[in-house]
Amino acid sequence: MSKFKAFNLTEIGASHIKEAKVCQDDSLSFEEKGYAVAIVCDGHGSNKYFRSDRGSRIAALVTISAIQELMKSRTIKNEQGSKLIDALFTNPDKFMQQLAANIIYRWREQIAEDYQHEPFSESELALLSPKELIASQKEDGWVSAYGTTLIAAVRASNFWFGLHIGDGKCVTVNADGTTAQPIPWDEKCFLNVTTSLSDAQALSSFRWVFEQNNKSSYLSSFQKNLPMAIFVGTDGVDDTFGNDEALESFYKTVVQLFNEKDFDEAKAELKTYLPKLSEKGSRDDVSIAGILYNKTVTKK
Amino acid sequence: MKEFKQNDKIELKVGGNITIKRKLGEGGQGIVYLVEMNGKQYALKWYTHVCTKDFYDNLDNNIKNGAPTDSFLWPQFLTVWKEKRFGYIMALRTEEYKDFSHFLLAKVRFASLSAMINAALQISNAFRELHRKGYSYQDLNDGNFFIHPTSGEVLICDNDNVAPYGKNLGIAGKCRYMAPEVVLGKTKPNADTDRFSLSVILFMLLFNNHPLEGKLIVAVPAMIESMERKFYGSNPVFIFDPKDNLNRPVIGIHTNAIRRWPIFPQFVKDAFIHAFGSEGIHEPQKRKPENEWQKLFVKLRDQTVKCSCGNETFINPDAADSSCLNCNKSLGKPLQLSIGRSKVILWPGQKTYSCHTKSASDHYREISGEIIQNKVNPSLWGMRNLSSDTWIATMPDNTQKNIKNNEVVPILKGVSVMFASGVKGEIVE
Amino acid sequence: MGLLDAVSIPRRTMVLFFLVDTSGSMSGDKIGAVNEAIREVIPEINDISSENADAQIKIAVLDFSSGAHWIYDKPVEADQFVWNNLEVGGLTDMGVAYKMLNEKLSRTEFMSDITGSYAPAIFMMSDGAPTDDYKKELEELRKNKWFKVGIKVAVAIGNDANKEVLKEFTGNEECVLEAHTPEALKQMIRFASVTASQIGSKSSGVGIGGADDSSTKADDFTKQLKDFTAENIDPNDVQAGW
């Protein structure tokens, strides 16, 4: 049984419904014995990003594969007998950068396959302005139509990390009730402008955080200095709340919900709530994925 | 490990004390403090771990021998060896010099191609001088260099692991900069392995990307040691290997390399293709010596001119026309000064150096001449003598003129100039 | 029902700015037209605002002549906004106006209420004859990120208005509208405010990389404005898209 539980929810935005637009968000979650993963992706909204729903789906899928592969290899030993995980602790930046590069690589390979299999149709190209049309015919010009943001969080017993490109927010809630947004923010993401997985310099736009269990802590099952809950959400969520305080307070309420109810019940209630949040708030697609402690394991 | 506080005093081996002012920074090996001695300020590097006497003595030796060139931020004084701990003081580095890793992350850019070329020249030259003095670096990596983005001036730091040939202090260096034979454990670092590291650094300087990091490297989510040994040791593949496209750079990740590779002249590309081809990888003695890199960058500098749009670009001396990399304006085929093996493009602002005009000189920094525009008739260009030698210019009609310091040789096809005994140049198309 | 329904979701706020030239050259029917137009459009903006319980439009007005000053010290909700006729007289310190606008376009100032994605809409009403060194201030204003993404419209008042100066403000000529009659002015302001508030609420487009790449709300607005004519626009056609 996993120490952690993960969930993911994606609901189409009120404005997307009104304009008969597809949902461009996607999300995934995964848990296994030693760790859990939460991922959200937000395909860009303007007309010229007409395949961003595919881009976000592909991004979520390649990210989860990459993470699973990384986590599988963490116990591989080198010639001296030390495990990869030790190298990860010593030099997390190197590993985070490698993971980000791998995600970009996989994503580009898959969207290239999609594009080759199905070049842009007349109706898709009609959505572009003359200038955009010319740009899309240049060598790498078709890629941006798939553009998406990505936030991924991974929680294991003695470490966690978050990887992020573009807008949307990652909020952590600690056992003492405090909240934080530990992944560094990118000032280039402002209002409706965001960095993207499709950017030519995507790797340099990735941000991350890596935290490991403080070895001097004597608490075992409740590692006090690692977050109790981690949430990742697309900007449909944070745009609704407008400021950090309101957003973090919202997530604290979500934690409370999961504390009070059974996991599946809580998830169902959050799912019903999301469309209301979009309707009253940002009107945009909303996705939330989260990782929490598995109550049935820790309740001893 | 306890850190020093303000006003703590530490004794120097030569006698006297230094006073701690404040902490400047911290690295893997030590902590750097701002200190004062006799009214002057220095940087103190204090090792956070226990050191061997060998290490201490090696540093002492290096101090006595002095720095190979001004580019090295060399240890000046050691502190007293106490309880197996110590530090050394060196000159302070001013803030304008930026960490090389910032250039790689594109946090800082070179102001111009000349600045970049200057940095490459200085680094190549620094290692040449280092090796000439019988040292090997052993631990070359991007944390060692600080570069001024406008001038390209270089400061080389962390010179603790410089040791005479044959003597190894047990440093393995960062894998990415290590020669393949060191990665595979076949040899300890030495001058040949330094040369490999140098070619990596030069490649990164020009292309903002590691030469062996392309598709193969990013195809995995985590680099395990066996893969590192393969990609940097047993089976490295150059990202622009003409025969093998398995490791090509990936857009979105290695975009800098993709954009920058095409802009450089073929002779530069060829040098890197060799450095990371089978000879450069597997035959350490065949690696390009530092002075050859130095000559290469002098040649590149000879072809660098400033376009009217304000940006620099390269002129191909053999092509009928060259266009500006930035604004695409056609620059035609300017006249060149053919001197020895060099072809210096004659363009306002271009300079010649002692390595061109003095006999048996490889001085690449000492300016000997400059191309200028006539103030009355800007379409008339001349070469001003900035050296202390008197040149003898022979006009197309065979008349001769003495060109003393500050005087100007008109730039016309067919003019030839005797710069020094045995050093003759001719202005050609 | 549950815990989540009790979570308070702030009303989406969009701020409309009016920068009004009240210099001597605007006297007579020019300022008369502006006063009347704004007075009449405010209730309409209020209508949009109140039709949606979840959204609100706030208004901020800066009048500039010799010097500049904000009518209220904070953006005011449309239903609370009282319009007092602006008087004219003095020079045209457009530079000062730009400087003051730049100061207020910040999260700690007039943009504090803004939920994530609503860019401000800024209307300049002037005959475009600045008397101070405005270019420097405009350059600074252009660096302001709220200004960059905001919807900018200039209404050139009068037959002899200097459109070039106004073009510098909006960044393009499609957003410089000419009003030759009071009625036309009113139509223009109404259409532009209503459209801007509509666009302001649309789901996020994205601009990545350089200016060429961005398809921002300002671009969407410009497209709509291009199609605008001085004909009567039935406000009911322009649905409150909140």
Indicate if the pLDDT at residue A289 is higher than 80. Answer: yes
Q: Among A24, A25, A46, A243, pick the best mutation site for testing chain C contact (most C Cβ within 10 A).
A: A46
| Numbered ranges of CATH 3.30.200.20 in chain B | 9-90
Reading the block at residue B385, the tokens are 């003598």
Query: Are A166 and A197 a contacting pair, CB within 8 Å?
Result: yes
Size of interface A-B (CB pairs under 8 A): 70
Distance in Å, alpha carbon of C8 to nearest chain A alpha carbon: 8
**DSSP for A204-242, written as a single string:** HH-EEEEEE--TT---SSS-TTS-SEEEEE-HHHHHHH-
Check if A239 contacts C (Cβ < 8 Å): yes
Q: Report the neighbours of B using a cutoff of 3 or more CB pairs below 8 angstroms.
A: A
Using CB atoms, which residue from A269, A270, A284 is nearest to C204? A284
Express each pLDDT in A76-116 by its tens digit.
Answer: 887 778 888 888 888 899 899 999 999 999 999 999 999 99
Express each pLDDT in B59-70 by its tens digit.
Answer: 888 888 888 888
Average pLDDT in chain B: 90
**Is the Cα torsion angle B306, B307, B313, B319 positive or negative in sign?**
negative
Residue B134 Ramachandran class (φ > 0 left, ψ -120 to 50 alpha, else beta): left
CATH of the domain at C61: 3.40.50.410
| Numbered ranges of CATH 1.10.510.10 in chain B | 98-293
H or E stretch covering A70: helix A52-72
CATH among 1.10.8.60, 3.40.50.1820, 1.10.600.10, 1.10.510.10 for B98-293 = 1.10.510.10
Q: What percent of chain B shows pLDDT beyond 90?
A: 62
Indicate if the pLDDT at residue B395 is higher than 70. Answer: yes
Average pLDDT of the residues in A182-207: 90
In chain B, which residues have their Cβ closer than 8 Å to the Cβ of A198? 252
The larger pLDDT score, comparing residue B131 to residue A8, is at A8
In chain C, which residues have their Cβ closer than 8 Å to the Cβ of A9? none
Question: Cα-flanking dihedrals φ and ψ of residue C42, to 5°?
Answer: -60, -45
Q: Report the neighbours of A using a cutoff of 3 or more CB pairs below 8 angstroms.
A: B, C
Distance in Å, alpha carbon of A188 to nearest chain B alpha carbon: 14
Per-residue pLDDT of chain C in tens (242 residues, 90 and over written 9): 578 888 888 777 788 899 999 998 888 888 888 888 888 888 888 877 777 666 678 899 999 999 999 999 889 988 888 888 998 989 999 999 999 999 999 888 888 765 554 678 898 998 878 999 999 999 999 999 889 888 888 988 877 788 889 999 998 888 888 877 777 777 777 777 777 766 654 433 344 333 333 345 666 666 666 666 434 333 333 322 21
The larger pLDDT score, comparing residue C204 to residue A171, is at A171
Query: Are A74 and A89 a contacting pair, CB within 8 Å?
Result: no
CATH superfamily of B9-90: Phosphorylase Kinase; domain 1 (3.30.200.20)
Q: Print the SS3 string covering chain C.
A: CCCHHHCCCCCEEEEEEEEEECCHHHCCHHHHHHHHHHHHHHHHHHHHHHHCCCEEEEEEEEEEECEEEECCCCCEEHHHCCCCCCCCCCCCCHHHHHHHHHHHCCCCCCCCCCCCCCCCEEEEEECCCCCCCHHHHHHHHHHCHHHHHCEEEEEEECCCCCHHHHHHHHCCCCCEEEECCHHHHHHHHHHHHHHHHHHHCCCCCCECCCHHHCCCHHHHHHHHHHCCCCCCCCHHHCCCCC
Reading the block at residue B410, the tokens are 């008109």
Q: For position A271, what pLDDT does the model report?
A: 97
Q: What is the DSSP letter of A296?
A: H
Residue C100 lies inside a defined structural domain of this protein: yes
Using CB atoms, which residue from A98, A105, A200 is nearest to B255? A200
Q: What is the pTM of this model?
A: 0.85
| Helix, strand, or coil (residue B219) | coil
Reading the block at residue C184, the tokens are 């036309």
Those residues with Cβ within 8 angstroms of residue B144's Cβ, 6 or more apart along the chain or in another chain? B100, B156, B157, B158
Residue C1 lies inside a defined structural domain of this protein: no
Indicate if the pLDDT at residue B29 is higher than 80. Answer: no
* Degrees to nearest 5, angle at CA A240 with A238 and A242: 70
Average pLDDT of the residues in B289-303: 95
H or E stretch covering B427: strand B423-428
Q: What percent of chain A shows pLDDT beyond 90?
A: 70
In chain A, which residues have their Cβ closer than 8 Å to the Cβ of C144? none
Q: For position B28, what pLDDT does the model report?
A: 66
User: CA C148 to CA C214: how far, in whole Å?
Assistant: 11
Full set of structural domains in chain A with CATH = 4-298 (3.60.40.10)
Using CB atoms, which residue from A21, A193, A238 is nearest to C149? A193
Q: What is the DSSP letter of B207?
A: H
Provide the domain count of chain C: 1
Average pLDDT of the residues in B387-413: 93
Q: For position A224, what pLDDT does the model report?
A: 53
| Numbered ranges of CATH 2.60.200.20 in chain B | 334-428
A238–C10 C-beta distance less than 8 A: no
Q: What percent of chain B shows pLDDT beyond 70?
A: 95
Q: For position A188, what pLDDT does the model report?
A: 86
Average pLDDT of the residues in B366-378: 93
Residue B31: band (very low, low, confident or very high) from pLDDT cuts 50, 70, 90: confident
Q: Which of C87, C157, C155 is nearest to C121 (CA)?
A: C155
Average pLDDT in chain A: 91
In chain A, which residues have their Cβ closer than 8 Å to the Cβ of B220? 69, 98, 102
Q: For position A298, what pLDDT does the model report?
A: 56
Express each pLDDT in A23-75 by its tens digit.
Answer: 999 999 999 989 999 999 999 988 889 999 999 999 999 999 999 999 999 88
User: CA C142 to CA C146: how far, in whole Å?
Assistant: 9
Count other C-beta atoms under 10 Å from residue A122's C-beta. 6
In chain B, which residues have their Cβ closer than 8 Å to the Cβ of A138? none
Those residues with Cβ within 8 angstroms of residue C241's Cβ, 6 or more apart along the chain or in another chain? C198, C201, C202
Size of interface A-C (CB pairs under 8 A): 125
Distance in Å, alpha carbon of A18 to nearest chain B alpha carbon: 35
Nearest-Cα residue of chain B relative to residue A144: B252
A190–C149 C-beta distance less than 8 A: yes
- In DSSP terms, A42 is beta-bridged to A25, A149
Express each pLDDT in B145-165 by its tens digit.
Answer: 899 999 999 998 877 767 666
Instruction: Please provide the CATH number assigned to the domain covering B334-428.
Output: 2.60.200.20
Question: Cα-flanking dihedrals φ and ψ of residue C151, to 5°?
Answer: -85, 125
Express each pLDDT in A145-168 by its tens digit.
Answer: 999 999 999 999 999 999 999 999
Q: Most confidently modeled of B91-100, B175-184, B363-372, C50-59?
A: B363-372
Express each pLDDT in B238-260 by its tens digit.
Answer: 999 999 999 999 999 999 999 99
Q: Which of C100, C88, C81 is nearest to C127 (CA)?
A: C88
Average pLDDT of the residues in A189-205: 89
